[in-house]
Structure 1
Amino acid sequence: MKYAVITGASRGLGASAAQQLMSKGINVVSIARNESSSLKQEAVNAGAQYTHYSCDLTSTEQVQTVFNEIAAVVFKNAELVYLINNAGVIEPIETAGELEPSLIGKNVQINLTAPILISNLFLQKAKKAGIPAIIANVTSGAAERPIQGWSIYCSTKAAVNMFTMTAGLELEEAGSISKVIAFSPGIMDTDMQATIRSSSEEAFADVAAFRNYKETGSLRSPDTVAGALVKLIMDSSLENGKIYKVNDL
């Protein structure tokens, strides 16, 4: 029996990945603010087990409590556990000196602190159970270059990449059966893109380019990107700590 635990699974990339994994008979655990009714139906169609948990990823206490509960179930019954740390936020989109403090904290908690806490917990449980965990942290091209108005998003995604590379190195040196990678999905037609397009030019100088991506149909569908992600994590030749980019797959 295999499980896939996916944060932000109610829509976008997370929902598409969950649907595709269930179609392969993999049991899915969804973590999101709101449950997706379509995932429930997909589970019925695929004959896969589906469970939803609500969790406020900005709360360290909730993350520890909810994911300990999830880990107790999946590592008891599974032969392999996939973890996709997909949940993320782009806000605040604003220049330094104009950033909203509460949004800074929320971004850091959701984009960086939660994936580290969850990955740490799952690696502990996987080692104790003798079961491999395959962890994919969803990152961004923004991790590799500064983008005006995205200082916090760029920073948290860069930190996710460094955590991934370091954890991957440690797992290799320890001879672990678990692996951790990062996945950069490129630009997709998601709610995050809609948020970006609604920015002002003062806050985000490149907003016109992102509006043009939508107008010209240049955005990939979440289903297409999820297909690449699912194929990637199921590949036995995964390299620990590697940052995989959808454009290279």
Structure 2
Amino acid sequence: MPSSPHLTFITGASRGLGAALAAQRLHEGHQVIGISRRASPELAALAAARGARLVQWTLDLTEPEPAAHQLAEWLGMQDPQAFASATLINNAGAITLPGPLADTPLDEAARGLRVGLEAALLLCAAFLHATQAWPVPRKVLNISSGLGRRAMAGSAVYCAAKAGMDHFTRAVALEQAALPNGARLSSLAPGVIDTDMQIKLRDANPAAFPERERFMQLQRLGQLDSPATAATKVLAYLDRPDFGQAPVADVRDA
């Protein structure tokens, strides 16, 4: 591990794409802080085997403000010279039961927006404020979706969260570009990944979710990336020298 490790925060780090992102960064010697509702024994075992530093914060991002405060307080206690870079990856998301917005329980809709949009925005704000004087490269990678750019019936809450993520990333990228050591940001669609979200879409009631067959076909045709494959593509994009030049991007167009 390098004497000054890269520092990487990852939300939704206990499973799916988030766990794969965390695993790859641990293999590379990053200090990883995972933020999820539950800790991952697999990541803990990997970190121990690799001699990598992993901290897992068990936080529920349906209440994002305490998580943002914890991130800011932790960063405020660190020596900025101890790290080669600092990165926040907002990966956590929540999908409601596929179906019309009119039939979506209000608490589910609120949860989807809090996890998918409010938490990402607040954590981004806390990260940028706490590290604004750090003399190291800083990046924010927001994991978006093609559904933030193309509406789909039966997924209004998820579409809204990802569209909001794209647009706040555009705005904050403009703000940071005006600063002498501004952070670089991108809201990246990672492609179609074989995760729990895909299972939920394939299991949806076709009467409530008319695009169900399209997602079933993606699986039948083998067009879903594994989380590990998707993580490799996402991190390759994050590590590009021109990361941040496009505040809204798609890994498939890279």
TM-score, reference length from structure 1: 0.94
Q: What is the root-mean-square deviation of aligned Cα atoms in Å?
A: 1.6
1:33 to partner: Cα distance: 1.1
1:67 to partner: Cα distance: 1.8
Separation in 2 of the partners of 1:195 and 1:72?
A: 39
Residue 51 (structure 2) pairs with residue 47 (structure 1): yes
| Stretch moving more, 111-120 or 61-70 | 61-70
SS in 1 for 2:112: helix
| Stretch moving more, 90-99 or 17-26 | 90-99
The residue number in structure 1 matching 2:248 is 243
Unaligned runs of 5+ in 1: none
Separation in 2 of the partners of 1:74 and 1:143?
A: 35
Separation in 2 of the partners of 1:134 and 1:35?
A: 24
The residue number in structure 1 matching 2:108 is 103
1:122 to partner: Cα distance: 0.6
SS in 2 for 1:229: helix
1:62 to partner: Cα distance: 2.3
8 Å Cα contact 2:65/2:122 also seen in 1: no
The residue number in structure 2 matching 1:202 is 207
1:205 to partner: Cα distance: 0.4
1:69 to partner: Cα distance: 3.9
Separation in 1 of the partners of 2:177 and 2:130?
A: 17
User: Which one of the candidate residues 14, 19, 25 is aligned to 2:23?
Assistant: 19
User: Which one of the candidate residues 227, 233, 236 is aligned to 2:232?
Assistant: 227
Q: Residues 161-240 of structure 1: matches in 2 within 5 Å?
A: 161-240=166-245
The residue number in structure 1 matching 2:8 is 4
8 Å Cα contact 2:96/2:158 also seen in 1: yes
Residue 100 (structure 2) pairs with residue 87 (structure 1): no
Residues 33-70 of structure 1, C-alpha deviations (whole Å, 9 max, x = no match)? 11111111221233210110011111134223332344
Say if 1:36 and 1:136 are closer, same or farther in 2 by CA, change over 3 A: same
1:201 to partner: Cα distance: 1.2
The residue type equivalent to 2:15 in the other structure is R
SS in 2 for 1:123: helix
Separation in 2 of the partners of 1:161 and 1:205?
A: 25
Residue 72 (structure 2) pairs with residue 68 (structure 1): yes
1:196 to partner: Cα distance: 1.1
Separation in 1 of the partners of 2:97 and 2:245?
A: 31
Unaligned runs of 5+ in 2: none
Q: Residues 30-41 of structure 1: matches in 2 within 5 Å?
A: 30-41=34-45
1:140 to partner: Cα distance: 0.3
Say if 1:75 and 1:154 are closer, same or farther in 2 by CA, change over 3 A: farther
SS in 2 for 1:118: helix
TM-score, reference length from structure 2: 0.92
